[in-house]
Amino acid sequence: MTAATIVPSPGPAAIAVFLLFFGVTILLGASASRRKRHRAGDEEWSLGGRSFGTWVTWFLVGGDFYTAYTVIAVPALVYATGAYGFFALPYTIIVYPFVYAVMPVLWRIAKAGGHATAADIVRARFASIPLEWVVAATGLLAVIPYIALQLVGIRTVLAALGLPGEIPLLAAFLSLAAYTWFGGLHAPAKTAFLKDVMIYIAVIAAVTVIPRHLGGYGAMFANAAAHMHTAKPGSVPAGHVLGTGQSIPYATLALSSALAAFLYPHTLTGVLAARDAETIRRNAVMLPAYTLLLGLIAMLGLMAHAAGIVTTHPNAVVPLLFLTIFPGWFAGFAFAAIAIGALVPAAVMAIGAANLVTRNLLPARLSASDGGDRVARIAALLVKLAALGCVLLLAPQFAIDLQLLGGVWILQTLPALVLGLLPIGLSSTGLLAGWAVGMAAGSWIVFADGLKPVHALHLAGHTVGLSTGLLALVLNVVVALVVSRLSSTRTSTPPGTT
């Protein structure tokens, strides 16, 4: 199939079904915290009172881990680059042992000390206010482009429904703002189950119906590879096979993404809201079910090629695919699932960022007052405004580049938060120096490369592509270890000796 498929316009049925499910979700989320209002304080709004059990935590962590990144950005990358876009699949497999081993330890530390953020934990471990500030500021900075990605996801489906210009982006922002302001963390906790069920229905229908429509999986893969070369001759490797020189970038991008995944404020918020450490371990065992879902979703990018869809906007391939294959009412249902799949995690991201502002960056007299809850809501709103600006100003080629940009930054907190738990002699001075080098190098490289997450290194006549975040992290760790050792030696040397 080489000719472009004519995509039908969404009909009234698609719009009606979308509005029904998306509107109900916002209303459920906005009313979620009413029954909890008698329990005052921003911890109830921001951490759900640390009371979520296994199932709520599973849907909440899965809800803020599998986002518009999964449903819009990954298929878009697969559509544009072929098998390279599947790097997101091994990274979700790598991350679960990390969660099982590390997150219960962080939960116990946070529970014992009343901590709600990574910066709280780092401050308690190293007794360093500057280190607390840089960890908090980095988390805040890193989550903004991630929220921007969710706004892009909601905007994409609203645009597919026919809203013109920047109206979809404005509607995405307002719906997220209302959902988060009124519901707090109870909003995504209450609606994550609905979101996951809807996405599972949409994806199972897609991977069942679309291949049958295209002549089976064998024909689908063959048509996808052929259409890739026809649509973008010479620019895409052979469909579902990695091209020459892509293996190392693929592997390092998967590794850096795995290390970054649970350092973000929103994923850590989901973990710290759990009832106990055992709840986190059970979730680490159960969460790989989402990896199966991710693999199926990623194949939508190949299915779009097999269906003959040609577009210069890769982010639109999933909505275009559903409009092409399914009746209008089901396309509307799938669009609602995608939009809710962006709304739920974006709320947790904004709340996690607000925690950093109120607990670590603002004076204690503001965040500890009776108005702390309101301050947190305002902080979350300002973070969403920054994400809106991120969408308008950066405009990357692929939506996934927004998430990977945040990954470069959030990785620089790993030495302080995770390695700092180990008895390897890291000092606050060393960690600050490593952070500064990692942030400066990572930011310079990623912007010099045009927001691309992989940097080409030229070594001994060979060019190797490596994850920019991983490169910056290596520099960070080396500098932190060296400076920590030097500062330790200087401190331990008695005055007047050499």
Type of residue at 324: T
Could you give the 3-state DSSP secondary structure of residue 237?
coil
The angle that helices 247-261 and 88-113 make with each other, rounded to 10 degrees, is 20
Please report the beta strands in 11-143, taking only residues with DSSP state E, as ranges in sequence order.
Answer: none
Residue 22 lies in a domain: yes
Please give the residue that has the higher pLDDT: either 197 or 476.
476
Lowest mean pLDDT among 2-16, 129-143, 326-340, 468-482: 2-16
Q: Which residue has the tokens 């499910």?
A: 21
pLDDT reading at 476 higher than 90: yes
Element (H or E) spanning 226, and its range?
A: helix 217-231
Question: Number of helices (H) and strands (E), helices first, in the chain?
Answer: 24, 2
Task: Tell me the two tokens of residue 88.
Answer: 């997101």
Residue 381 lies in a domain: yes
Segment 465-482 shows an average pLDDT of 93
Lowest mean pLDDT among 102-111, 162-171, 239-248: 239-248
pLDDT value at residue 231: 59
Please, what is the Cα angle at 415 between 411 and 419, to 5 degrees? 130
Best-predicted range by mean pLDDT (138-142, 226-230, 270-274, 430-434)? 430-434
Q: Sorting pLDDT into bands at 50, 70 and 90, what band is 158? A: confident
Segment 315-331 shows an average pLDDT of 90
CATH of the domain at 174: 1.20.1730.10
pLDDT reading at 367 higher than 80: no
CA 470 – CA 211 distance, rounded (Å): 37
pLDDT value at residue 172: 80
Task: Tell me the two tokens of residue 51.
Answer: 């009371």
pLDDT value at residue 130: 92
pLDDT value at residue 7: 61
Where b means 16+ CB within 10 Å and e means fewer, 387-421 reads bbebbeeeebebbbbbbbbbbbbbbbbbbbbbbbe
Q: How many domains does the chain have?
A: 1
CA distances to 74, 125, 361 from 367, rounded to whole Å, are 38, 21, 9
CA 368 – CA 356 distance, rounded (Å): 13
Sign of the alpha-carbon torsion through 314, 81, 403, 293 = positive
pLDDT reading at 364 higher than 80: no
**End-to-end CA, the chain:** 77
pLDDT value at residue 372: 53
pLDDT value at residue 396: 65
Burial of 6 (0-12, 13-18, 19+ CB in 10 A): exposed
Segment 68-88 shows an average pLDDT of 82
CA 223 – CA 228 distance, rounded (Å): 8
pLDDT reading at 90 higher than 70: yes
In terms of Cα–Cα distance, which of 387, 494, 484, 468 is closest to 434? 484
Please list, in sequence order, all residues whose beta carbon lies within 8 angstroms of the beta carbon of residue 357, skipping any fewer than 6 positions away: 136, 140, 375, 376, 379, 383
Q: DSSP label at 8?
A: P
pLDDT reading at 441 higher than 70: yes
Domain containing residue 314? 17-397
Task: Tell me the two tokens of residue 147.
Answer: 């929220």
Q: Which residue has the tokens 């390897």?
A: 424
Q: DSSP label at 70?
A: I
Segment 227-240 shows an average pLDDT of 57
pLDDT value at residue 471: 93
CA 73 – CA 85 distance, rounded (Å): 9
Task: Tell me the two tokens of residue 472.
Answer: 């910056």
Residue 260 lies in a domain: yes
CA 314 – CA 120 distance, rounded (Å): 40
CA 137 – CA 139 distance, rounded (Å): 5
Task: Tell me the two tokens of residue 13.
Answer: 């049925």
Residue 117 lies in a domain: yes
Q: DSSP label at 423?
A: S
Task: Tell me the two tokens of residue 392.
Answer: 């308008």
Q: DSSP label at 85?
A: G
What percent of the chain has a predicted confidence (pLDDT) above 90? 13
Output phi, psi for 395, to 5 deg. 45, 60
Residue 197 lies in a domain: yes
Residue 116 lies in a domain: yes
Could you give the 3-state DSSP secondary structure of residue 7?
coil
What percent of the chain has a predicted confidence (pLDDT) above 70? 81
pLDDT value at residue 169: 78
Lowest mean pLDDT among 4-13, 143-152, 373-382: 4-13
pLDDT value at residue 1: 42
pLDDT reading at 214 higher than 70: yes
Segment 138-160 shows an average pLDDT of 86
Segment 58-65 shows an average pLDDT of 61
CA distances to 26, 230, 310, 311, 324 from 3, rounded to whole Å, are 40, 9, 9, 12, 14
pLDDT reading at 43 higher than 60: no
Best-predicted range by mean pLDDT (1-10, 394-403, 424-433)? 424-433
pLDDT value at residue 435: 95
CA 222 – CA 215 distance, rounded (Å): 10
pLDDT reading at 223 higher than 60: yes
Q: Are 96 and 284 in contact (CB under 8 A)?
A: yes
Average pLDDT, the chain: 79
Residue 267 lies in a domain: yes
CA 225 – CA 302 distance, rounded (Å): 8
pLDDT reading at 482 higher than 80: yes
pLDDT tens, residue by residue, 240-280: 567 677 788 888 988 988 888 888 887 777 777 777 788 88
CA distances to 53, 283, 344 from 280, rounded to whole Å, are 9, 5, 20
CA distances to 95, 142, 198, 331 from 326, rounded to whole Å, are 35, 37, 16, 6
Residue 440 lies in a domain: no
pLDDT reading at 237 higher than 70: no
Q: Are 221 and 438 in contact (CB under 8 A)?
A: no
